[in-house]
Structure 1
Amino acid sequence: MGGDHGPAVVLAGAAIALKRHPDTRFVLFGESDLVLPHLDADPELSAASTFHHCDVSIRMDDKPSQALRQGRYKSSMWRAIEAVKTREADVAVSAGNTGALMAMAKFCLRTMANIERPAIAAIWPTLRGDSIVLDVGATIGADAQQLIDFSMMGGAMARALFGVERPTVGLLNIGVEEVKGQDEIREAGRFLKETPLSGIDYRGFVEGDDLGKGTVDVVVTEGFTGNIALKTAEGTAKQIGAYLRAAMSQTWLAKAGYILARSAFERLRDKMDPRKANGGVFLGLNGIVIKSHGGTDAEGIAAAIDLAHAMARNGLREKIEADLKSFYLRVSEEAAEIPESNLQ
């Protein structure tokens, strides 16, 4: 029911994703009078779907606290998340209100053991493929321990999505020198450097231009900086696209050049298409939730469902749980080995 376009676009995206992944089954939650006309018009999608009517839908402008009060237990958003909790579904995908989705996901699924706050991880197109960037909006002002947790969760996601045994990880900072940056970043960097973790290959600090280069598989930052970086990158891609369209239409010679190089421009457009990387993964919860951009079209919705399919098939939640359990067990064992006199 969420997003700027509602059920018509969400279901169109689901139909595209179903063609790519015929083994997918959908559990749909929404208002029957708005959903069923679109669903009944697509026999293949209808056959692969189970629909549940909900009387309440969360509006895009609802405050998280308001959504929890009015939509807990009965809204389409809540029930989609609850389906993950009860194992009726492997992943919840929504294009709805981000704040409400995060609040409901935290309340319904709870965070994993030892995780204080979740993170939103985004797929980031780079010169060498794709990287993962987190957090892009869930946790503002993360401390050192949270940045370490984000590093492990991002590494687990990279293993699930990219098939990399030990993904490379970097902390986003204002410089690569160890003396630069806020105390929390430097503290997290010292720990990751001095305490090698089995699931990741820590490469130190990275800067803003490393995001596009693909210097590492996983870039870790706190939510305020990550969200600004994400919105800046999206805006820059649109700006470059506008510049190219304007340049190609100014003269007849430019138009002729565009015709001759059309295939190259189409590849560039495809590479810069933000729909291809649509879908932010909520990490650190006892279940997987993916937030689609509210303004995207059917192709963008399909990309978010593609991501959900990959995360479920490759056992993202299990990988994160195993990494966190191993890490905190190691920390507790090392703490127990410290002589009591050293703790005083």
Structure 2
Amino acid sequence: MGRIGVVARPDRRRPIVRVNNSLAETSGGYLASPVVNTIRRRLVLDGPGCIARPHGSILHCLGVHRASGCSPNCGRQSPVIGPPRCLTFKPSYLRHFVFPKRRLAYFIAFPRGSTWLTSPSTGRQNAAHFGSLRCAPAPVTSNVSHMQTRPVRYYIAAAASALLFARAARADAGVPLLFLTLPGMVLALLPVIAIEAIVLARTFRSNVLSVLKASALANIASTLLGIPITWVVLVLLQDLTGGGRSYGLTTPLQKLLAVTWQAPWLIPYEGDLYWMVPAASLALMVPFFIASVYIELAVVLRIVADNPPLLVRRAVLRSNLLTYAILCFLNAGWLISSLSRGAAHG
């Protein structure tokens, strides 16, 4: 049936237990078995498959995407407990799961046409006995598909409405900093992609060209998607916490809050915008950095799935630390230059 063994990766101290299942026809994919890795409680799911946990008579799958129009369980009336039907999988997608300390019954399931091959975990290393479970696909209706795609459209429409409302409400009473900083970030996209590709290549011990695509797609996604969404969230938080009105610039604390708390949409202090814009841009580097790390990590994990996720996280964090340090250095120079010119003219 399958061959169970311990594979120790050179860049990871913890061994990962895998099941090489040729019967499931996973196109060379590997499925890790939690039954033999009970000490570390870690497993890797690489390739099409499903890791399921029984909850009553229904199995809940982890790391899979349920197709529309599917019932939650196809093994309810079957003597062999199987995973839910109508599941779609992403091949070559690497995902780590950490299991709870208490012992639970887990199943490793493989799609093979309309048949599910399942392997219950019994806590023994020879628990690779597969049972079959046939499951007819449920019909997909347009109503169910509409209901499942509606939340995505709802969130997009809500974000767009919030942005339009903020722009309409503050058309004459503020400076939306996104429209001043985003063009500069777009211009810096090419050197940032090159720098982060070099960092990724050195971390993965590969050539730059092999990770250039991952760096490019990750940075494009974070710049054109992550930063604007982060800015919209910050504008909403600024409004909800009372940062939409003027408090003055009399004290140092008021000046600090004006370029941090009120940085997403600056209050138009006309005589002080020359230093407030670069100072607020420097303050926004922190939330933009956090958003970039998470978005780029999600993109890079899907593209370079052959590398361990911990190594990918380290590489993405290092590359973003380097590029954002350069951006902060340039932004600080802009702020110092603006303060110098303002002092000379004042």
- So what's the TM-score if we normalise by structure 2? 0.27
Q: Which has the higher helix share?
A: 1
- So what's the TM-score if we normalise by structure 1? 0.27
Rg: which structure is higher?
2
Structure of greater relative contact order (alpha carbons < 8 Å, 6+ residues apart): 1
